[in-house]
Copies of this chain bind each other. A is one copy, B any other.
């Protein structure tokens, strides 16, 4: 959870018992999507305690740093990405959640486009993408964080078009459907899905086709952010979009 270079000075003195001081950390639940599966970016801790165990990627909060900025910093350090969709999940504040520190952690989840990230950086940090349904056990309460994030993702996806955050700028309807099937963990009817997502006029059909995903090829679309902003300003209400 704590990157070596971000540990508070006190940590260096006594690694295992810093219970006399309040620490604040943030942990990132970083989702990606590839070939039908939701993926999570995790890494093997390289420092004690809990060295070698799988963990979410996080950091202590710096004194002069906004909580949301801390998550963005972590994300950029690991993936090289700025301007990522990111949202607060929940505070993990049990007094005994971390045996080493009295530390509360702000869970924040992010949605990443798997084409964009910096593969070198990720490798350097020992981070890896894992299918969310084949995750190893994570340290501390990180398993719980992941469960909570998946649940929140389901809820959120019903009313906000966050699925597009996991796809490249141009995408096909079948690809989008595949994202939602992964989030909701169930199959959707292709006809109804297409009808619904197109009904809001939020997808702009392009000339090009994507020929990689299938033989026939499907038309590419892009998301009309401008129109979306207009609609939401007027309190528009989506049901699965």
Interface residues of A (CB under 8 A from B): 19-24, 61, 63-69, 88, 90-91, 93-95, 102, 104, 106
Contacts and interface: CB of A to CB of B under 8 A. Distances in A.
11 contacts: A22-B22, A22-B23, A22-B24, A24-B104, A63-B102, A65-B95, A66-B95, A67-B93, A88-B90, A91-B91, A91-B106
A144 to B, nearest CB: 14
Contacts of A67: 91, 93-94, 104
Given A22-B23, A24-B24, A67-B94, 12 more contacts: A21-B63, A22-B63, A61-B93, A61-B104, A64-B95, A64-B102, A66-B94, A66-B95, A67-B91, A67-B104, A88-B90, A91-B106
A20 B95 contact: no
Nearest to A19: B63
Contacts of A63: 19-22, 95, 102
Contacts of A88: 90-91
